[in-house]
């Protein structure tokens, strides 16, 4: 693992809650499916353990509902979905993210004019 990847992982950790909440706001989902959807949306570096741990923590914090759906082929799946508390948390985090990313973009735009990478 090189230095650049470490940084990506660190960055992801900060926004993983938001990303997971966002995925679940589209549709209820189970652990592995959340990972897959995050990766499909371009978050290639997201780790399975990180997502699973985040889901468990958000559930423990009371932001998620959980229910089990039997599956024909394979184990039964534990689905997670947002409850009111989760939706509120998502809204707040999304606002924070928007203002934060705006500020960061501004900073980065000024910098990228000077020298690339």
Partner 1 sequence: MASNDQASDVAAYAASVRAALSDLPRDQTEVLLEDLEDHLREIAAEAGGPLNERLGPPQQYAEDLRAAYGAAQVNPARQDPALHDLQRGLAWVTGSTWYRQTRAFLPELRPAWWVLRAYLAVLILMAAISAGYNLGPIPNPVTKRGFVEILATGVAIWLSVRIGRRSRKLSQTALVLAYSANMLIALLAVMVLGNMRSFAYSELIGTANPQQTTFANAFAAGQVTNIYPYSQDGKPLTNVLLYDQDGRPIMVDKSEAQTSYPIGADGKAVTNAYPLTQRHLNGDLVVAPRVAFPPWPTPTTSPTATPTATPSPSPH
Is 77 among the residues that bind partner 1 (CB under 8 A)? yes
Q: How far is the CB of 112 from partner 1 (least distance, A)?
A: 31
DSSP at 71: -
Residues 63/22, Cβ–Cβ less than 8 Å: no
Question: Which residue, 54 or 86, is less far from partner 1 as judged by CB?
Answer: 54
Q: Which two tokens stand for residue 66?
A: 């959980």
Is 114 among the residues that bind partner 1 (CB under 8 A)? no
Q: Which stretch, 21-29, 45-53, 93-101, 109-117, contacts partner 1 (CB under 8 A)?
A: 45-53
Q: Name the residues that contact partner 1, by CB under 8 A.
A: 13, 16, 30-32, 47-54, 56-57, 60, 73-78
């Amino acid at each position: 693992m090189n230095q650049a990847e470490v940084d990506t992982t660190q960055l992801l950790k900060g926004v993983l809650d938001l990303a997971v909440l966002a995925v679940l706001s589209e549709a209820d989902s189970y652990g592995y499916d959340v990972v897959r959807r995050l990766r499909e949306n371009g978050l290639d570096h997201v780790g399975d353990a990180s997502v699973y741990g985040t889901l468990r923590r958000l559930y423990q914090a009371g932001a998620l509902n959980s229910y089990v759906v039997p599956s024909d082929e394979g184990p039964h799946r534990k689905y997670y979905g947002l409850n009111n508390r989760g939706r509120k948390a998502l809204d707040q985090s999304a606002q924070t993210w928007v203002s934060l990313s705006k500020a960061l973009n501004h900073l980065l735009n000024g910098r990228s004019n000077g020298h690339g990478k």
